[in-house]
Amino acid sequence: MSRACYDPTALPRVVDNLIVAGEALSQGDTIPQLFQTHPPRVERIAHMEKLLPQAYEIYRSNPECLVLDEMRSRGVLGQHQMIVHRGAKKVKAPS
């Protein structure tokens, strides 16, 4: 994702938001860890955070990312927030 100029810190947040949304949709139904196809949430996010230094190195070495950062800082590129629905209540996803 760093090569595509996405903020490397965004991936752990996105994965966490997707997991929270999935948990809200499943309404507490859980699959035993033995049968899960992906590692538990905490392990997945910890692994991604461990890779952040390498991701930032890639991100900073790409001149196109600097241009996109400049555009974001001037408000040319907007940022969107995901809304997670939990039952009938809308909850803003953690950022």
| Block mean pLDDT (10 aa), the chain, length 95 | 80 82 67 68 86 90 87 70 52 51
pLDDT value at residue 11 = 82
Annotate 51-70 with DSSP letters as a single string: THHHHHHHHHH-HHHHHHHH
CA pair distance 19, 26, nearest whole angstrom: 10
pLDDT at 92 (0 to 100): 55
Number of domains in the chain: 1
Q: Which domain holds residue 55?
A: 2-92
**pLDDT value of residue 54:** 93
